[in-house]
Structures are given as C-alpha cells and as structure tokens.
Chain A
Amino acid sequence: MSATTSTSTLTAPGRGDGAAPRRRPGRGRLTRPERIWGRIFIAPPVIGFALFALAPLLFSLYAAFTHWNGLSSPVFSGLDNFRTMSGDAQFWQSLWNTLFLMLGIPIGLAVSLALALALNRRMPGRTAFRVIYYLPGVSSVAAISILWQWALNGDFGLVNQLLASVGIEGPNWLAEKMWVKPALIIMGVWKGIGFSMLLYLAALQSIPRTLLEAAMLDGAGAWRRFLHVTVPMLRPVTFFLVVTGIIGGAQMFAEINIMTPTGGPEFGSATIVWYIWQQGFQNLKLGYATAMSLVLGLMIFAVTAFQFYLNSRNVFTVE
C-alpha cells in the first residue's frame, strides 16, 4: 500500500499493492460504490427527519397564521391567533402554571444530589437503594399518576395519613387551587429523582481524587471541598439536567391529563401543553394551538440559548 502526499489512495480489500485506483482530486477518500452505499445508509434518517420533523415544522409555521380546525383546509388569518393569545387569560394562566411547576427542577436537583452523595459512600444495601430510587424513572407515567392520585387523596391518601401521624391535617391536594401545584411538584420530584441521582453518581465517581486530596492538604474542610471542588466538577451534569428539566417541564402533559383531567381547580394545574392539546383536539382550534406551540417552542429555545450562554461564561478547565 502506498500513499502520496498530493492525493489520497485507498487500497481495496483483497487487492495487492499498487492495485489501488487513483482518484480525481476533491472527491474524498471514498470509492463511488461506497459513496452510493453511504447515501443509502443515511437516507432513512434524512428522509425520516424531513418527513416527520422538517415538514411538520414548516407546515406549523404556516398553520400558526391560519384559522384551522383540523377538518378542512387552513385559512390564512394573519396575526389573529397571536392577538387572541395575548388576551387569552387561560393561555397566560397555563403558562404561569407551567413555570410554577418548574420549581420542582431545583428542588429535584438538590434532593438527587444529596442522595447521590449519600449513595456514593460505602454502605450496606447501597445497590438496593440505587435501584429503589431509580424505579420511578422506568415506571409508566400513567401508572405513577394514578398512584399519586390515590396517595394525594384528601381523606384516605397516604400523604395525608403520614401528615396526620405527626398531627398535621393535610389539605385536599388535588381539589384545592392552592395545593394542586405543590402536589404535582412533589410527584414530579419523586418521579425524576432516580435519573438525576444516577447522573450525579456517575459524575461524582469521575471527580479525580487528587483534586480533593490537594484541597484537603491546603486545609479545606468537607464543606469547602464540596463547594469549591465537587460542585464545580458537577456543573456539566447540572447544566444538562437543568436544560433537559426545563424542556421536559415545559412539555408536561400526561400527569395533568390523568390527575386533573379538567385542568384542575380553577385551572390551577393546566399546563401550556395540556391547554394546547385541549384547544387543538377538544375545541377544534388547531391553528390557534399551533400558534401557541410556536410561541412555546421559541420560549424553550430562548431559555436554552440563554442557559448555554451562561454556561459558556462559566467554563473552566483543570490543568
């Protein structure tokens, strides 16, 4: 096999030295059949993307500016949907509910980090605990929602029974406007804790011990080591969890539809995606629903871009 400096050569399998064909400059390192096969292989995902992501995206860009009921062709309506949105109290309420429910993200991160720190030590039953905490993460959302619907029942629910055992009279969680969102946050934290904990555990185990030992030699106590070594080293995982948490939180639907199928007391638990679904499929306003989806998509994009910007400003390297 030989190689020249000006052009690449490739020896086909089974061919002897010097049998490699010369190729024209600028055509890459692949033979023609390989290029064809390469294209065939990338065709399914490209076609899939074009059919199921790009085409719907382009169509939704148009549909957002139409009156469209999903039964007949869309009729262009300019900015009507966006004007309606600006004065739609339920849109703003559902947006507020969605943001409020995202309070569960920092709470969940704090709890899962604490658990990861606890389970990162040598202790009996460590594997069993890890499995138990991760179980909700692999369970069906529908099953979890029904389970929590029972647990949060005002009279006979497990949560209120536990509260009663310490002398607290629990509220009617899912039927009171004030408590329905905290109830959903509690459930969300419980559901997501296993996944976050697992990532934190992996990240904790990849922190070089030398850094912690160096900090210790410099006189740093446990808290300072945690604050100035562990937390910065966990930042990429935290960043990932926050971004995916916000994207996931903005799309919360199944739990709401199962636990509070009418949007909760005084619309107190209706999330933006639930409201979009309701408008699109229950009230035949697919044009309006698409416009709301577009706004939601832009919001998620803006928030994520801002997070990337913040993260890029805090990049550090360990020499």
Chain B
Amino acid sequence: MRRRRFLTAAAGAAAAAATGVATGCGNLHSNDPDVLTFMFRGSTEERDVFSRAVDVFVQRTGYQVDIISTSADQYATKLQTAILGNSTPDVFYLEPPRTMAYVTNGVLADLSEYVEATDLPVDDIWPAGLDLYRFDGEKIGDGPLYAMPKDLGPFSFGYNKTLFEEMGVEPPDKDVPLDWDEFLARCTALTGDRDGDGTTDAWGTSVNIGAEIHSYVWSNGGDWVDADRRTVTVDTPEFAEALQYIVDLREKHGVTPSINETEGLDGYQRWLRGQIGFFPVAPWDLTLYRTLDFEFDLCPYPAGATGTSATNIGSLGIGVSATSRRPDRAAELAMFLACDPEAQAIIVGEGQTIPNTRSHAAKWVEETDVEPQNKQEYIDIVEDYGRFVPNAMTYTPEWLDAFYTNLQPVLEGRQDVGEYLEATQPVMQGFLDTGYEQLRIDQKANS
C-alpha cells in the first residue's frame, strides 16, 4: 500500500512537472487578459519611482498591472527572449535602435489611434521625442507613432565651478559656446598639480569617446551617415579633424587623464572627486551630483568649425505589444507614464530626468533652488541643437559598434586618424548595407 501511494505521488509530481513545461511556466503574459504586464529596467531608485507612478495609474483606472523590472544589463536579453517565446509584455521599455526592427516584425502596436482619442496631454510632449518613435516603414521620424518617449536625456556639458575658482580660470559663458582653441586654453589652465606632490591631480576634461565624440564631430560639420542614412561618412576631413582634436587633448596637450590614469580611476570617478574641470552632466546623474563637495553648472559643448554647439539626446521609449490582449489599456499606461502631470511629478521629482512635457519644463527651468542653475541648457538641447545617436535611425546598430572595435590604437596615438577612418568606413558601410538588406528580407517575410 505504501509502495502504491509512493508511486502515485511520484506519477502526480511527474505529471505536474510535465504540465508546467507544457503550459509555459514563467510566461510574461498574465493568464488574466485584463491584467497588464509592464516590463522595464533601471537602477533600484528608478524602479521604485516607476513603480510608484504605476501605482497611481492603478488607483486611478482600477486596472491591474504586473510589474517586471530588471537591471539594465539584463533587460535587452530578457525582452528578446520574451518576444521569442511569444510572451511579449503588454507594455515595455523600448531602446530606440530596436524601433525599426520591432515595427517591421510586428512586435510593436501602432499607438496613433489611442493618442488621437486620449485626454492626456500627449501634444505637450517634446516633438523630437515623439518623432524618434515614428516610423513609416523606411525612415525614422515620419509615419505612425509606435512608442511614447519615456524620457529625453539631453547630454549636456558642465563644469566644476569650484575648481574653476580654485585654479583662477574664467568660467564658460552659459549661452555662447567656446571655440576649440578657447576650450583648449581653459583646459590647459585647469590642468595641474594642486597639492604640490609632483603628480597632476586636476585636468581640463576627460573625454568618454563613445558618448562625446558626437558633439565634436557634429559641431565640426561632420556626421556619421548622409541624410538618407545609407552611406557612412566617417572618412570626411571634418570627421577626421574632430577625432584628431579629441586624441590631441590627451596625447599632445595632456589636458585629460592618460589611458593608464583613466584605467585606474576613470574620468567619471575623477569628476566625482572634483579633479575634472569640464565634464558631461546628464539628467540621470543630477541626484548624485547634487551630493558632491563642489558646485557645478551647465554650459554648451565647445563648438568646432560650424561655430555652433552640438550634442546627443538619449531616450527610451515605452512601447505596447502588438499582441497585447488589451492594447487600449496598455496604450493608456504608456501615455500616462509619458505625460500625465501626476506621474511626471513623481518621475521628475527624483531628479533623474528632465520633464517630458513642455509646460512642466517651463516651470522646472525656473526652479533655481537646486543645481544646476542653468537648466535652460537642457531645454536648448532638446528644442534646438541636440540630435539623436545615429544608430537609433538605422535598422541594426552594428555598423556604429564597428567604429569603436579597433579605435584604441588611435586614441593612444599609435595609429593615424585618417588612416583609421579610411580603413573603417568600408567595414561600417558593409554592416550598414547588411542591416538594410535585413530590413528588405524582414519586410518581405512580414508582408
């Protein structure tokens, strides 16, 4: 009898396991079609902030929302796996370089009709942010809207006011960008040994090549691709001059920490310790920067040959799954997080992002009790001179990655800039062409 009971229990367990496998345990869809799933990523603080905003949505609408949050480095793989397994969450963060692929392959729902019907102030969202998620089947920027911008991240330049005072250097103007010669002169004046121990402990700037090269290239009249985004244009004199300027800042003029010095303590850490004069000040860093021992403010990026400043704008979208069983509710959640005043108050209140709506931003800029004083610079970037990183506008981002793969010898001054760009352009072009070929294949497969 005991044996029979044991066997029955074992068979039951096996059957339960098999059923679990067959029904797909861990599916990101809720079994209840009325329960929305929202998948997003970020730091612990950011996850907390968005969870609170979702709570407000739940209270207001009565809809149920299951939250799935991951760390930033796991997000892309987890979302991709969910899509592969036909369990795409109803609402999810969308990385802009994925927009074209997700739309072409039917992953994203068209939000246009929901935007038309809503009472939420979608029109108040930054137009550039909305345009980033429009896609007409060929080009980003036109056509139906496939996601709401969760935020816009203007990558502004900034400076350490305390270090400038200490070194007796004139601070930059908040409206007029320095030209490259002026910028170099300020950086030279800021670089030195403050404590007299024989080693340099203050530098003019520290260039994060992946994030900042865009500013130097664009402001010098260069670009990554042509207007149609079909031809890679890194082999132009303007591009080469910009890259050479960045290399020279370290290798020739020594106004940034050396490769070894940044390996030991990177530019970001040195900025936090007050050792760097000019450094990027992005909105998501403001919470931390406000706790530092020095004062800082924003200024325009130095301008190259064009005489105008340039920089990039980061963004994440909030997309809705094309297979959502409640796309209306899912779209409402996406729009709510993007522009509802109460949700925005929670999200912006933590200081990790600039307001997503223009009316809110107009008031936010006037708040002078918290750093930075010159918040207008963020607004200028979003409304005037900021651009999106070019791999957000192409079918696959691989072509841009190829630029950085073998860049190290150039940054260390061991390889000629022109030679490198000439050799790299065909490689990048190959990847860009492959991406568009993939677009054609996917369009055909999904037509």
Chain A residues in the interface with B (C-beta under 8 A) = 37, 40-41, 43-44, 47-48, 51, 67, 69-73, 75, 90, 153-156, 172, 174-175, 177, 262-263, 265-267, 281-286
Contacts and interface: CB of A to CB of B under 8 A. Distances in A.
A67 B438 contact: yes
Contacts, number: 89
Contact of B80 (A70, A154, A174): A70
A155 B261 contact: yes
A71 B408 contact: no
Given A69-B105, A172-B259, A266 B405 contact: yes
A265 B414 CA distance: 14
Interface stretch (B133-141, B305-313, B439-447): B439-447
Contacts of A73: 445
A285 B395 CA distance: 12
B263 A154 contact: yes
A265 B408 contact: yes
Interface of B: 7, 10-11, 14, 17-18, 21, 76-77, 80, 83-84, 101-102, 105-107, 259-261, 263-265, 396-398, 401, 404-406, 408-409, 438, 441-442, 444-446
A266 B406 contact: yes
Contact of B408 (A155, A266, A281): A266
Main secondary structure of the interface of B (DSSP, over half): helix
Contacts of B409: 266
Contacts of B401: 262
Given A69-B101, A154-B260, A265-B408, A283 B398 contact: yes
Contacts of A67: 438, 441, 445
Nearest to B80: A281
A58 B14 CA distance: 25
Contact of B404 (A69, A262, A286): A262
Nearest to B405: A267
Given A155-B260, A155-B264, A266-B405, A71 B102 contact: yes
24 contacts: A37-B11, A44-B18, A47-B21, A67-B441, A69-B101, A69-B442, A70-B83, A70-B84, A71-B83, A71-B105, A71-B107, A72-B105, A72-B106, A73-B445, A153-B263, A172-B259, A175-B408, A262-B401, A265-B408, A266-B405, A267-B406, A282-B397, A283-B398, A284-B396
A51 B445 CA distance: 27
A43 B18 contact: yes
A72 B439 CA distance: 12
A265 B405 CA distance: 7
Name which of A43, A51, A71 has the most chain B CB atoms within 10 A of its CB.
Answer: A71
A89 B263 CA distance: 28
Given A43-B14, A71-B101, 6 more contacts: A37-B7, A172-B263, A266-B405, A281-B76, A281-B77, A284-B438
